[in-house]
Structure 1
Amino acid sequence: MICQLCEKLEVRRLRIEKGIEIFECKNCLLAFTNNTTSLIRLQQSGKDLYDFNGYKKEERKLRKRFNRLIGIITRYKDSGKVLDVGAGFGLFSSILQSNANFKVDLIEPEQKLQYVNKLKFLLYKTTFEKYKSKEKKYDCILMMDVLEHFSNPIANLEKAKSLLKADGILVVQTPNYKSLMAKICSEWAWWMVEDHKFFFSPKSIKLALEKAGFRETYFTAYEDWEDFKKNLDGNFEEITNNLVRKILKAIFFIFFIPFYFLVRKILWQCNYGGLMFLIVRKRN
């Protein structure tokens, strides 16, 4: 099997998740599924993964996170035309448009927009692969938690490059399967084979962007503690005795929480955060 990213033959089976094989390239550290009929079946059963009621419960946390990320984006671009690829329910774009002088276009093939009704926007109800720009160029393109869904990430990154103005920026966020969270959580939430085809590491995401013709402007690896804790809770799910489970969880978190917050910034600096957030520009 040849790696789609680096085209090397150094591919091994990394793990099996819900009956689906996940492979890893040992050279560039890109992981990916093999698109089998069983994967298609899982995708059909996973259509309710993005339920708005569940999303609404996370809104407070997400608003805090998005405001922080938008603060970073506006250091590099604070006005112009934005294309939000895979806008989801529209929360990120609604905050972005409310906090800066942006005109936002959204691509969202499936979800009903919930947060942008009072804002001026243009919605394309299609996939990014089918989207046609009609010569329109953007100052900023957002790919927030979408790159892992594509069948051909490099082709879509190259398409994004073609849609950017000369001084435009591409903003990418994707899970980090080499994170501490992924390593110590038996039920890491982003092993989501129902909908994720690729799993990136710091090395592979940077290589993918470089291969598509971009140069790095900003990179960070981070996670919210709430996400980390929820993933850690999964380590105790197989303990059937409620009392034993509660005691073991309490003992674990008594020691883990202070350690985690003591070394968290160091972990992030060493690229062990659960999410990778990048801003890139066209390479001249």
Structure 2
Amino acid sequence: MAKEAICPLCEGNNLRLITDKARFGRKADVYKCQDCGLTFLDQNSFDFPEDFYEKEYHQTYITHVEPEALNPQAYYEKMKKATRIWADKFAKMLSGQEVVLDIGCSTGHFIDLVKDKTKKIYGHELNVKETEFCRNVLKLDVSNQPLENRFKEESFDYITMIYVLEHIAKPKEFLRSVKKLLKPDGKLIVLVPNEQDALVNLYDIPQFRSFYYCIEHLFYYNP
């Protein structure tokens, strides 16, 4: 018997089923919690391949809209332009004495834009190909080793996560572990897709809805 879906955030079961299909017709139940407002994919309703991010994510999902993703150099150039507005805003918060960690740094485009404004900046990226690009081409301090093995607690003034949190299967546990890496007055900066996308919520375009929900985005947060 299938387990009853519950909200991973508030643990309530007052849920509304939005759709049972994700991008490319994959079976996945998408719910909206009527109590706390979180939209999420029920992780018991579909199988998530262990090697998804190393293979299918770049071969199929990303390249469907971003063909540059298969080439780290091309993807770096594209994303460096797209990320500049966030990097400029973040740089204004820095004095040049901060130690920073960027989690899910991909090809290092954000790190490369702000590195000269920091005392030291590190990157964490699970994708081996992108990690090697960061280290070998950009000469950045990026690794795919577990964060708790790499850093001591209270190491960072800032930790940034740009379009990462929506991928994390257990966000509350993950954020608790990340918090330990921050200094007592450190700050966590998170950027996620807006669940209140106009094409889904205002115009309710069915074609976009079937594209919008995808198995790598487990959560859809709102302001």
TM-score in terms of structure 1 length: 0.60
Of residues 124, 129, 141 in structure 2, which corresponds to 1:122? 141
Cα distance change of structure 1 residues 60 and 135 upon mapping to structure 2, 3 Å threshold: closer
Cα distance change of structure 1 residues 152 and 40 upon mapping to structure 2, 3 Å threshold: same
Of residues 113, 125, 130 in structure 2, which corresponds to 1:108? 125
Cα distance change of structure 1 residues 139 and 109 upon mapping to structure 2, 3 Å threshold: same
| Contact 1:94 1:115 (8 Å CA) reproduced | no
- The farther-off stretch of 178-187 and 65-74 is 178-187
Aligned to 2:56: 46
Aligned to 2:89: 72
Which letter does structure 2 place at the counterpart of 1:187? F
After TM superposition, list the pairs within 5 Å mapping 1:162-201 onto structure 2: 162-183=180-201, 184=203, 185=205, 186-187=207-208, 190-193=212-215, 195-201=216-222
Mark the runs of 5 or more structure 1 residues left unpaired by the alignment: 203-284
| Contact 1:149 1:197 (8 Å CA) reproduced | yes
Cα RMSD of the aligned pairs, angstroms, is 2.9
Task: Indicate yes or no: 2:155 matched with 1:137.
Answer: yes
In structure 2, distance between residues paired with 1:116 and 1:66: 20
Task: Indicate yes or no: 2:52 matched with 1:35.
Answer: no
Cα distance change of structure 1 residues 133 and 42 upon mapping to structure 2, 3 Å threshold: closer
> Percent of pairs identical after alignment?
24
Displacement after TM superposition at 1:75 (Å):
2.9
In structure 2, distance between residues paired with 1:50 and 1:78: 35
Of residues 21, 27, 45 in structure 2, which corresponds to 1:19? 27
Displacement after TM superposition at 1:96 (Å):
1.5
Cα distance change of structure 1 residues 133 and 59 upon mapping to structure 2, 3 Å threshold: closer
In structure 2, distance between residues paired with 1:57 and 1:122: 20
- Paired residues in the alignment total 199
| Contact 1:105 1:121 (8 Å CA) reproduced | yes
Displacement after TM superposition at 1:21 (Å):
0.8
Cα distance change of structure 1 residues 77 and 10 upon mapping to structure 2, 3 Å threshold: farther
- Greater C-alpha Rg: 1
Task: Indicate yes or no: 2:91 matched with 1:81.
Answer: no
In structure 2, distance between residues paired with 1:35 and 1:92: 30
Displacement after TM superposition at 1:71 (Å):
1.9
In structure 2, distance between residues paired with 1:60 and 1:133: 29
Displacement after TM superposition at 1:169 (Å):
1.7
Cα distance change of structure 1 residues 109 and 62 upon mapping to structure 2, 3 Å threshold: closer
| Contact 1:93 1:116 (8 Å CA) reproduced | no
Cα distance change of structure 1 residues 43 and 27 upon mapping to structure 2, 3 Å threshold: farther
Task: Indicate yes or no: 2:108 matched with 1:90.
Answer: yes
| Contact 2:154 2:180 (8 Å CA) reproduced | no
In structure 1, distance between residues paired with 2:12 and 2:184: 32
| Contact 2:157 2:186 (8 Å CA) reproduced | yes
TM-score in terms of structure 2 length: 0.75
Stretches of 4+ moved more than 6 A in 1? Answer: none
Cα distance change of structure 1 residues 166 and 89 upon mapping to structure 2, 3 Å threshold: same
Aligned to 1:276: none
